[in-house]
Chain A
Amino acid sequence: MKFTLNIWRQKGPDEGGRFVTYEARDVSSGMSFLEMLDSVNQGLIAKGEEPVAFEQDCREGICGSCSLVINGIPHGPDRGITTCQLYMRRFPDGAVIIIEPWRARAFPIIKDLVVDRRALDRIMQAGGYISAHTGGAVDGNVLLISKDQAETAMDAASCIGCGACVAACKNASPALFVGAKVSHLALLPQGKPERTRRVKAMLEAVDREGFGSCSNQNECEAVCPKRISVRFIATLNREYLRAGVVESGLPAEPESPHAEST
C-alpha cells in the first residue's frame, strides 16, 4: 500500500508551522499507524533530514503518550482506541492522510506533533488525589464497596490522560478529564472526606491553565480512547454544585452516611 501524508511541521513553540507532504511507500496493511510513521522517519534520517517528532511509548493504548489528530479526528477514525492501536488496514490504498498535533491554547506545541500537556498534571496536583499517608492504612476490606460502585469508579478511573477530549472540544475544555477523576474519587468512601475541596481546586486550576468551559457537545466522549462517558461530566457539575451548598453551610445530603460535617 502507499499513502500521501500531509504532516504538520513546526520547529518550536514560537515559530510558525506548515504542512509538508510525504509519501509513505511499501506499507503493509498489518502495520500500525505509528509503525508507518516510523518507516517514513527512517527514510528521512538515512538522508540526514530531521524526522517528524511525535509522541509514543507503550504502543498498546494505555500510557496516553500518543496524540495525533488524523484527518481532523483525535486518535483517528475508529472509536475507543488510541493512535498507536490504529492499523493501516483501516485506510484505503492511496489515501491522503492529514496529520496534526493536539490543538489547544493550554497545550503549546514543542515540536511538530509533540505538545506540552503539563497543564493536565497541574490540574491533578491541585486536588486529584486522596491525602493518605503511607503506612497506617486500615485493612482493605474494612470499608465495603459494592461491586457496581467499584465498577463505576473503575470506568471513570480508566482515563489515560491523553488529552484527546481537549483536542476534540471546540472550547478546549478538559471537562471529561476532570469529571473522570472527580467522579472516580467521589464514588469511593476513601475519597469522600476531600470531595468538596477537590472539585473546587481542580476547576480553579482548569481556569488558571487557560482551558475553556464545557458546553455539552459530547465530542470528548466520541473520541475518548477509553470510552469514558459524559455522565461523569454531569457528576462533575453535581459535585461542584454540592460543594457550593456545603460551603454555604447547608447540609448537602442529610440522608447520606458519608455526608461531611461542615
Chain B
Amino acid sequence: MMKLDPKIPPGPLETKWDRRRFSEKLVSPNNKRKITVIVVGTGLAGASAASTLGQLGYQVECFCFQDSPRRAHSIAAQGGINAAKNYQDDGDSVGRLFYDTIKGGDFRSREANVYRLAQVSMQIIDQCVALGVPFAREYGGQLANRSFGGVQVSRTFYCRGQTGQQLLLGAYSALCWQVERGQVTMRPRTEMLDLVMVDGQVRGIVARDLVTGRVSIHTAHVVVLATGGYSNVYYLSTNASGSNVTATYRAWKQGAAFANPCFTQIHPTAIPPGDTHQAKLTLMSESLRNDGRLWVPTMRADHRCPGDIPAGERDYFLERRYPRFGNLAPRDIASRAVKSVCDEGRGVGPGGQGVYLDFADVIGRQGLDVVRERYGNLFDMYQRITGEDAYDAPMRIYPAPHYTMGGLWVDYNLMSTIPGLFVIGEANFADHGANRLGASSLMQGLADGYFILPYTIGHYLATAKLTPVGEDHQDSRAAIQRVTSRISRLLNSKGGRTAASFHREVGQLLWNHCGMSRNEEELKSALTSIAALQEEFWRSVMVPGSGEAFNQELEYAGRVADYLEFAELLCHDALHREESCGAHFREEYQTDDGEPQRDDNRFAHVAAWEYREGASPILHKEPLAFEFVPPTTRSYQ
C-alpha cells in the first residue's frame, strides 16, 4: 500500500528550510567518494544537480539522449527567470513571490515548497552571475529586470530572448568543470529505459546506448530523474521533438506515484498551426505581452485586413475582461480567453484559429527602434516561419501545449515514493500547482538542482541501508529483460503504420478531449479511443532496422508507445478532478460568466496515482493545507 508522507517540517514557514537543513544528516567527505549518483537528464535541473553533486565529492554518472548535455530543452526558454531580489524597489519580497506563485498555481501547490523556492530564488541569480551568465544590465552596470504575466512587480532577470540558453550554458559549463575533474562521467546519446529495483529501493537504471544499440545496467546508490515534462503527448507542442515521458512513465510503472498529470499548461502565445506536416509549434515569448495587445474583430467571420478594422470594431478581450492585469493575465486565463473568442467565430487567420497580438501602439509611442531592440529576434523568428512582417501587421497567435505542472510525486526532500529515486525540475510536480507563472520554470529547475537536492540527497544516503548491487543481481537481470523484450516486440511488429501517425492521432485526440477545456463525456470517450489505439499500435506499427545499431525510429516508437499509455493516465486524472482550477478547466464547473469554479472542499489535494498492471490506476490523495495564504477566488479582473 502506497503511503504519501510529504515530510514537511513543522513550525513557521520562514524557518522550515533552515531547520530541515540543520536537522538533516550529512555524509562525510571520505564517504562521498564511495557513493555513486545517477542523474538522468541535463537540462537546468539535471546539469545543475550533477555539477553540484560532483563538487561535493560524489561520483556522478550523468545521462542524456542528446549528443551533448548542452542541447537539453531548457535551452529554448526565452523570457527570463524570476527572483525576489527587489532591485527595482517596487514592493517585491520573498513573501510576495511566494504569494504570487501560490495564487498563480490556483491553490494547488504546497506552501512549504513554494516558500522555499522563493527563498532560494535570490541565490540562483548570484550563482548564475558567478558562472558568467551575461544577464541584461542597466547603463550603470546593475542587473536589469522586466515584467511577466500574473504579477505586478518587475522581478524577471533575462538575457535577451535567450535566457534559458544562457542559464543552461552556465550549468553546462559547471558540468564541464566536473567532467574535467573526474567527478562526473558524462554519457550522452544514452537513453534511460527502466529502473533497477532491489528490495523496494531504486539501485540503478537500464539504459540503451543510442549509437551501438547496446542495452546495459548502470548501478548506483541513488537515482535522480531530471527528464522534463510530457507536453509532447499532445504531438504538437512547443517542446523539442526529443522531449518525452518515457523516463518518468517507466518509473511510474515501477512504483513511483504520478501526481496531477492533468495539470498541463497551454501557453497563449504560439504561432498558430499550419499544415498537417507540421512537426512542432513555435512559442512567442510571454514577454511580448508587456507591449503587445491581444484583440479580435467584434464581428464574427470578419475577413478584413487588420489595418482596415477601425478601433471601435476591435475587441481587446483581455483588457476588457481583466482590466487590472490586462494583457498580462496569467497563461491559463489568457489561453482560455483566446479559445473562447475563437469558439465564438471571431478568430482570425486560417480556420479561425488565431488572435492578433498587436504592437502598433507601442511602435507609435516609443518608436520602431525600441521595439526592434526589445523583441527583434522574436519578430525575425515570426517572419521566418510565417513569411509575414509583424512590424507592419499584427502577429497572429494561438495557444499551444507548453509545460506540465504534473509530474512524479515528491516529498519536501524531492524524493518520490520509491526510496532513493529523486525527481527534480519539470519532471516533478511540486511547486506550480495547477498553473505555472512565466519565468518560474527556470527558477524551479535551478533551485532544485543547485540548492535543494544537494542537501536532501545527503540525508537519504546517510540514513539508508544500501547493500552492494551488481549487474548480475537477479533484479538487474529482470530489469534488462523487461527492456529487451519490449524492444524486440517493437521490431517484430511489422505492420504498415509509422509511429508518427499514432503519435499524431493520440495527440489530436487529447487536444480535442483533454486540452484547454474538458468534460466528463469527452474524457470517457477519449479513454475508449485510446485503448483501441494502443491495440492498433502493437498490431500495426512499423519499425525498420535493427536494435543493435543507431536507430532513431526505434527510439521514437518506444516513446510513442509510452505516450499511448500515459494519455490514459492523463484522462483518468482529468476525469477525477471534478472542479476547474488553473490550467484544468472542466466545463461542468464554471460560473455564469465562464470563469473557473474551484472546489476546495473536495479537491484541495494532490492526486497521486499508483500503477497497477492491467487495471485502472489507484488514486491516493495528499491533502493540501493552507496555513499561511487562505485560498481565495483567484481573480485578475
Contacts and interface: CB of A to CB of B under 8 A. Distances in A.
A121 B186 contact: yes
A132 B127 contact: yes
Nearest to B68: A121
Interface of A: 12, 28, 30-32, 34-36, 38-39, 42, 44-46, 48-51, 53, 55-65, 81, 85, 87, 89, 110-111, 114, 116-118, 120-121, 124-135, 137-141, 143-147, 150, 153-154, 157-158, 160-161, 184-185, 188, 190-191
Interface of B: 48, 51-52, 55, 66-71, 73, 75-76, 85, 87, 123, 125-132, 134-143, 159-160, 162, 165-166, 169, 172-174, 176-177, 179-180, 186, 188, 211, 240-242, 274-275, 277-280, 282-283, 381, 384-385, 387, 450-451, 454, 494, 496-501, 542-545, 549-553
Given A30-B275, A89-B387, A157-B166, A184 B132 contact: yes
B67 A65 contact: yes
Given A28-B277, A39-B277, A57-B66, A134 B52 contact: yes
Nearest to B543: A45
Contact of A147 (B138, B177, B274, B451): B138
Given A126-B180, A150-B137, 11 more contacts: A28-B277, A45-B542, A46-B542, A55-B67, A110-B211, A114-B550, A128-B173, A134-B174, A137-B123, A140-B129, A188-B134
B493 to A, nearest CB: 12
Given A118-B68, A124-B176, A134-B55, A144 B140 contact: yes
A46 B55 contact: no
B542 A63 contact: no
Contacts of A188: 132, 134
B51 A134 contact: yes
Interface SS, A side: loop
B66 A158 contact: no
Nearest to B387: A89
Contacts of A36: 277
B136 A150 contact: yes
Nearest to A31: B277
Contacts of B277: 28, 31, 35-36, 38-39
5 contacts: A39-B277, A62-B76, A65-B67, A116-B211, A120-B68
Which 9 A-B pairs rank lowest in CB-CB distance, beginning with the nearest? A144-B141, A129-B173, A137-B130, A132-B130, A140-B129, A137-B126, A153-B134, A150-B137, A57-B240
Interface core residue of B73, B132, B550 (most chain A CB under 10 Å): B132
- Counting chain B CB atoms within 10 Å of each CB, which of A38, A116, A131 scores highest? A131
A133 B136 contact: no
B242 A135 contact: no
B550 A140 contact: no
A120 B172 CA distance: 13
A100 B552 CA distance: 18
A153 B134 CA distance: 6
A161 B381 CA distance: 19
Contacts of B211: 110, 116
A139 to B, nearest CB: 6
Contact of A48 (B55, B159, B494): B494
A218 to B, nearest CB: 23
A63 B127 contact: no
Contacts of A143: 129
Contacts of B240: 57-59, 63
A141 B128 CA distance: 12
A2 B172 CA distance: 42
Nearest to A155: B134
Nearest to A181: B173
- Of B71, B136, B166, which is in contact with the most chain A CB atoms at under 10 Å from its CB? B71
A60 B165 CA distance: 12
Among B67, B73, B76, B141, chain A packs the most CB atoms within 10 A around the CB of B67
B70 A64 contact: yes
A114 B551 CA distance: 11
Contacts of A35: 277-279
Contacts of B127: 132, 134-135, 137
Q: Which of B52, B142, B279 has the most CB of A within 10 A?
A: B279
Contacts of A44: 544
A53 B55 contact: no
Contacts of B66: 57, 63, 65
A102 B290 CA distance: 41
B169 A130 contact: no
Contacts of B279: 32, 34-35, 38, 59
A236 B371 CA distance: 33
A153 B170 CA distance: 13
B542 A190 contact: no
B383 to A, nearest CB: 11
- Greatest chain A CB density within 10 A among B48, B138, B450 is at B138
A102 to B, nearest CB: 12
A145 B165 contact: no
Given A134-B450, A134-B451, A147-B139, A111 B134 contact: no
B75 to A, nearest CB: 5
Given A50-B544, A135-B123, A185 B132 contact: yes
A85 B68 contact: no
Contacts of B140: 144
A150 B135 contact: yes
B141 A146 contact: yes
A130 B176 contact: no
B131 A132 contact: yes
Given A48-B494, A64-B70, A137-B126, A132 B143 contact: no
Contacts of B180: 125-127
